Chain A
Amino acid sequence: MKRPPKDVIESVRTVSRRALVMGGVQLGVIGALGWRLQSMQVEQADQFRLLAEENRINIRLLPPARGLIFDRNGIAIADNEQNYRVVMVREDAGDVGEVLAKLTEIVDIDPDDLSRAMEEMQRRSPFVPVTIADRLSWEDVAEINLNTPALPGIQAEVGLSRVYPWGADLAHVVGYVGPVSDFDLSRIDDPDPLLQIPKFQIGKTGAENKLEQTLRGSAGTRRIEVNAAGRIMRELDRQEGDPGKDIQLTLDSRLQSYVQARMDGESAGAVVIDLENGDLRAIASAPAFDPNLFVRGISVPDWTALNEDKYRPLAAKAVQGTYPPGSTFKMVTLMAAMEEGFVTADETVYCPGFTDVFNIRFHCWKRGGHGNINLHESLKQSCDCYYYEIAQRVGIDKMAEMARKLGLGVRHDLPLSAVAEGLAPDKEWKARVRGEDWRIGDTVNASIGQGYVLSSPLQLAVMSARIATGRVVTPRLIRLVDGVEQPSGLGESLGINENTLRRVRASMEDVCNHRRGTAYGSRIVDEAHKMAGKTGTSQVRRITPEERAAGVTKNEDLPWERRDHALFVGYAPYDNPRYAVSVVVEHGGGGSRAAAPIARDILLQAQYGGPPPLEAYPAGVRDKIAEQQRRIAARVPPGAKGRSRA
């Protein structure tokens, strides 16, 4: 059958027409594709290039070396120690089990660590190094390196870890570092990417914590090329970070170590201030703890033991403990009254052993009373009735003002955890906090440092320093940051009448050096190093009239928790003061018996820059002191193994 040509022509025409339509549509689609390519590859190229680089390039942080902390003599008190660990790369190891078996023959590895490492290796890509064991000794590492051919996939790596050569002696001041916890991250607002590194160590307490920003340094970066599976292909470049800045403290680690040793067995705090510049030479709190335990991660039994000890080793008592200052507060009362003109040197007050104030009887520590007593003797013999009387004249607000002027009841800005503010109470305070009116009995109590008054050993030492110098001494803990000297703590005059200061100092001198002074037993006989001071005994219990009638129970017969706190503040040499000291022995009994001898030993140690000769002590105690010096010398100073700065 032959198709008519007309049909053919019509068919060709239709096909041609529609083919052109098809071609048009195709051109449109290709135009769209071309436009799409152009917009992605030309217009958005930079954006996509960035994404490709992000894909390809991983930035790894290089943790900086943490700054070191030195004492005033350049002896390291917080150091970085090389720390060896063994890592394994599964794909290089071949038979993982066999290699690990060989490794355990060479070094001791905790089976728990081993199984954790095995598990981690199964979970992660075969090329990721997994830590098998941490904190190996140099000998172990040498042994492993020697056996490298038999241990495929095993590498020894070196890192830095924090170490505190002085152990417990500086624990409360230096604090310790530990790995960043989720709690830390939620608490601190710090965008530093270093904190995201697993197990990155930051300061947790003490100076390590407060000086974190200075000590940490900044992260270096390492740009590496990775493939889609995360395998590192090559390192593109590396930028070293800035290591943390070194810090030199004002502390004298040898003196600090001595003070810790001297207070061994007590629950106590002591502070030594250099009067030339306010430098804190020692801030000791006993008992203490070993900060190195925390760096490694403290075990549960150790932690429980520290927490349950009734002597509270974790508390930095020297700066964060607050105690009623007891008779050491009498200088405040006295100076306030003298400055306001309520008392003169010649006036005497009769002390029958008690004072009645609105039907409430306040007792003097001496039951029989001191009789007629003047200003000089009142402080020397620590007569309470004298202060009951003059406090009522001057009033609490002037006393509180004087207390703050001398550094009590104000927070001293030190880079330490929880520096206590203490309390110098006044009428406004009681109305605000207690919602009660101030009563005259409160003033009477405060006059001898009882009642609401609270102060820390640091504040007491500052008070002592300010009385000794008559100037605003601000305690200083940091001497140098990255080689730059920090401002001195010795400020201008307190603005207290020189006559007032002279009389108070003279009285404090007699406290220690006059036969009837309360600290005469703890005097220093070496003329050039004699000390002045004031004892204090603060009650932590209330003595009821019934108890008093029955005869006051002796401290020694009470349970430890209810015994009096023993305090002493002082300075030496008395005629040209160089060091101020405060000592608080928790529940130590009387200040003259428990605190003053410690203060004496500390001041002698500080003045001699080491163990003093026995001739500095009164003849009667030399045997006892010699024995004590032997005992302390036998104690190996932990810092001996630390290094010092050239």
Chain B
Amino acid sequence: MSYLEYNTKYVPTGLRKLLHLNWPIILLLCAVACAGFLMLYSVAGGSMTPWVEPQMQRFAFGLVLMLIVAMVPIWFWRNMAFVAYGGSLLLLLGVEFFGEVRMGAQRWIDLGFMRLQPSELTKITMVMFLAAYYDWLPNKKTSHPFWVVLPVLFILTPTMLVLNQPDLGTALLLLLGGATVMFLAGVHWAYFATVVGAGVAGIMAVFQSRGTTWQLLKDYQYRRIDTFLDPANDPLGAGYHITQAKIALGSGGWTGRGFMQGTQSRLNFLPEKHTDFIFTTLAEEFGFVGAFTLLVLYLLIVIFCIISALGNRDRFASLLTLGIAMTFFLFFAVNMAMVTGLAPVVGVPLPLVSYGGSAMLVLLVAFGLVQSAHIHRPR
């Protein structure tokens, strides 16, 4: 029902769509993925197994999936948004009851051929659904309280389910990703200001109350928060990992210690060196130059997405593209902030570089949606 449907005659068809793909984004994605292969090869001690090969296969599969998604007209995806969102919620509920417990959290659901993390999927389907919602909603109702509360519920439902797994990192990404789409759609500033203000006030109240008669949390909860915010308080437990990660990162210097020469990763001082903390290995072995280059590659992907969205007059397409760009941004920004000690460790992988199937496939499908929006933009 959008503007788009009336201008389909200008949209490329068949194989000509390939020519209209957003190629810079694809090339940047490949570059980042290659950096990932390189690092996985290094942390495996110079071996294709156990990580590089499966990661390459998954990336190839993901690329194909991306192209298929890209070929499908964007209005189809818009119509599917509600189904996708509903399906994700059902899967999250499924995890809640039937999911596998691994590493202390209930996140995975076994599909037979692969283990899926529905929370990863939800990051995209929720953005899709919110974009479709604002596409459907007349502009002037955007800031109407009722039409604001509704999407807030759409965001909070999966967030709560994910938080219950527990997976703080993904919950944070869902919350921020959803809020970004609402912000982009034009919800009034005042709402955001209120929420942020209330949040800050609440946090301050919790901390101010400490040690007073009206203390809001129990003592042990405060201690837990302390450790969470400053792992140095617990140098042998939570603090050990972040301390070692910072040492690895810092010791890289300008140009790094050389490929496969990082002592922190090679001698196993680094935790989770093939997943969440892979950035530290890269920073150790390739130094500031390598780490900053990767940061620039990520930034370029986001910039190309924003450019594509700005050039797209379709409300659903641009909101979707920007929402996905934001989700992607949150992924790597939170991960990097975490490993550089700027943010507490919440368990967010480095997109396309960390070893892991669900996140990579979901991200590539999401970029498929971005491509589809790009190809089928109104001309």
Residues of A within 8 A of B (CB): 1-3, 5, 7-8, 10-12, 14-16, 18-19, 21-23, 26-27, 29-30, 32-34, 36-38, 40-42, 44-45, 47-49, 51-53, 55-56, 225-229, 233
**Residue in A8, A41, A52 with the greatest tally of chain B CB atoms within 10 Å:** A41
Residues in B218-265 with C-beta less than 8 Å from chain A: 244, 246-254, 263-264
Per a CB cutoff under 8 Å, which of B268, B298, B340 touches A36?
B340
Take A44-B250, A55-B269 as given contacts and tell me if A33 and B336 are in contact as well, using a CB distance cutoff of 8 Å. yes
Let me know if B248 and A37 touch, CB within 8 A.
no
With contacts A12-B313, A45-B254, A55-B247 known, is A33 near B186, CB below 8 A? no
Q: Is the CB of B306 within 8 A of A19?
A: yes
Assembled-state Cα–Cα distance A371/B333 (Å): 115
Q: In the assembled complex, which residues on chain A have CB atoms less than 8 Å from the CB atom of B315? A: 8, 11-12, 15
Looking at the complex, which one of A3, A26, A47, A229 makes contact with B268 (CB distance below 8 Å)? A229
Least distance between B184 CB and chain A CB atoms (Å): 5
B322 lies within 8 A of A15 (CB): yes
Q: Is the CB of B283 within 8 A of A19?
A: no
The residue on B at minimum CB distance from A54 is B247
Q: Complex: how many Å from CA A23 to CA B340?
A: 22
**A304 CB to nearest chain B CB (Å):** 45
Are B302 and A15 closer than 8 Å at their CB atoms? no
Q: 9 A-B contacts, Cβ less than 8 Å apart?
A: A22-B180, A26-B333, A30-B333, A45-B253, A51-B250, A52-B264, A55-B263, A226-B267, A229-B268
Asked if A56 and B263 make an inter-chain contact with CB atoms under 8 angstroms apart, the answer reads: yes
Known: A18-B184, A22-B184, A37-B283. A49 touches B268 (CB 8 A): no
Tell whether, in the assembled complex, residue B251 and residue A49 are in contact, meaning their CB atoms are under 8 Å apart: yes
Chain B residues numbered 169-184 whose CB sits less than 8 Å from any CB in chain A: 180, 183-184
Return A27 CB to nearest CB of chain B, in Å.
8
B348 contacts the other chain (CB 8 A): no
Q: How large is the interface on B (under 10, 10 to 19, 20 to 34, 35 or more residues)?
A: 35 or more
Which of B138, B185, B267 is A7 in contact with, Cβ under 8 Å?
B138
| A52 touching B251, Cβ below 8 Å | yes
Encoded as 1 (CB less than 8 Å from any A CB) or 0, chain B from 1 to 37 comes to 1110010000000000000000000000000000000
Residue of B nearest to A16 (CB): B310
Q: A37 and B318: CB pair below 8 A? A: no
Return chain A residues, CB-CB under 8 Å to B291.
Answer: 37, 41
Q: Is B168 interfacial (CB-CB < 8 Å)?
A: no
Contact of B251 among A2, A5, A45 (CB under 8 A): A45
Q: Cβ of A55 and Cβ of B264 under 8 Å apart?
A: yes
Are the C-beta atoms of B268 and A37 separated by less than 8 Å? no
Which chain B positions have C-beta within 8 A of A14? 139, 185-186
B309 interfacial by beta-carbon distance below 8 Å: yes
Quick one: CB contact mask for B290-318 with A, threshold 8 Å, 1 for yes?
Answer: 01100100110011001001100101001
Assess whether B253 is in contact with A49, with CB atoms less than 8 Å apart: yes
Residues 181-222 of B, flagged 1 when their CB comes within 8 A of A and 0 if not, give 001111000000000000000000000000000000000000
- A23: chain B residues at CB < 8 Å are 302-303, 306
Contact pick for A42, options B254, B268, B318, CB 8 Å: B254
Taken together as a complex, chains A and B put the C-alpha atoms of A454 and B253 apart, in Å, by 73
Q: Once bound together, how far apart are the Cα atoms of A307 and B337, in whole Å?
A: 68
CB-based contact A227/B309 at 8 Å: no
Contact B287 A41 (CB under 8 A): yes
Contact in complex: A41, B322 (CB < 8 Å):
no
Chain B residues within 8 Å of A5, by CB: 3
Q: Is the CB of B2 within 8 A of A3?
A: yes
Question: Are B318's CB and A48's CB within 8 A?
Answer: no
Q: Which residues of A contact B277 (CB under 8 A)?
A: none
Q: Verify B247–A52 contact, CB threshold 8 A.
A: yes
Q: Which residues of B contact A7 (CB under 8 A)?
A: 138-139
Contacts of A32 in B (CB 8 A): 342
| Besides A1-B1, A37-B292, A233-B267, 7 new A-B residue pairs in contact (Cβ under 8 A), listed by A number | A12-B313, A37-B283, A37-B288, A38-B292, A48-B249, A48-B251, A55-B247
Known A18-B184, A55-B247, A227-B267; judge A12-B318 contact (CB<8 A).
yes
Q: Whole-angstrom distance between the alpha carbons of A638 and B303 in the complex? A: 91
* Known contacts A14-B186, A18-B186, A22-B322; is-contact A48 B288 (Cβ 8 Å): no
Whether B329 sits at the interface, judged by CB under 8 Å, is yes
Q: Which residue of chain A has its CB nearest to the CB of B5?
A: A2
- Answer yes or no: B116 CB below 8 A from chain A CBs: no
Asked if B128 is at the interface of the complex by the 8 Å CB criterion, the answer is no
Task: Determine the distance from Cα of A15 to Cα of B180 in the docked complex, in whole angstroms.
Answer: 11
B299 touches A30 (CB 8 A): yes
Smallest Cβ distance from A223 to chain B, in angstroms? 13
Q: A8-B313, A45-B250, A56-B263 are contacts. A36–B342 as well, Cβ < 8 Å?
A: yes
Instruction: Verify B251–A19 contact, CB threshold 8 A.
Output: no
Closest-by-CB residue of B relative to A47 is B250
Mask of B312-337 contacts with A, CB within 8 angstroms, 1/0: 01010011001000100100010011
Chain A residues near B318 (CB-CB < 8 A): 12, 15, 19
State the Cβ distance, A581 to closest chain B Cβ, in Å: 66
Instruction: Give Cα A456–Cα B97 distance, bound, in whole angstroms.
Output: 91
Q: Chain A residues near B185 (CB, 8 Å)? A: 14-15
Contacts of A51 in B (CB 8 A): 247, 250-251
- Quick one: which of B247, B250, B295, B326 contacts A34, CB cutoff 8 A? B295
Expressed in whole angstroms, the minimum distance between the Cβ of A125 and any Cβ of chain B is 13
Give Cα A3–Cα B136 distance, bound, in whole angstroms: 10
Q: Complex: how many Å from CA A305 to CA B333?
A: 75
Contact with A along B37-77 (1 / 0, CB 8 A): 00000000000000000000000000000000000000000
The answer to whether B322 touches A38 (Cβ under 8 A) is no
Provide the residues of chain B in CB contact with A22, threshold 8 Å: 180, 183-184, 306, 322, 326
Measured in the bound complex, the distance between the Cα atoms of B318 and A218 in whole Å is: 74
Q: Is the CB of A42 within 8 A of B253?
A: yes
- Bound-state Cα–Cα, A530 to B318, Å: 123
Determine if A40 and B183 form an interchain contact, defined as CB atoms under 8 angstroms apart.
no
What is the bound-complex CA distance between A532 and B216, given in angstroms? 97
Residue of A nearest to B252 (CB): A41
- CB-CB < 8 A to B2: which residues of A? 3
| Chain A: CB-nearest residue to B323 | A22
Give the docked Cα–Cα distance between A56 and B303 (Å).
41
Complex: A11 Cα to B186 Cα, angstroms? 8
Bound CA–CA A3/B3 (angstroms): 6
For B326, list chain A residues within 8 Å (CB): 22, 26
Report the 9 A-B pairs with minimum CB-CB distance, sorted nearest first: A48-B250, A52-B251, A227-B267, A41-B288, A45-B253, A228-B268, A14-B186, A48-B251, A40-B250
Do B292 and A26 have beta carbons less than 8 Å apart?
no
User: Closest residue of chain A to B251, judged by CB?
Assistant: A52
Whether B302 contacts A10 by the Cβ 8 Å rule is no
B219 smallest CB distance to A (angstroms): 32
Q: Which residues of A contact B292 (CB under 8 A)?
A: 34, 37-38
B35 to chain A, nearest CB (A): 15
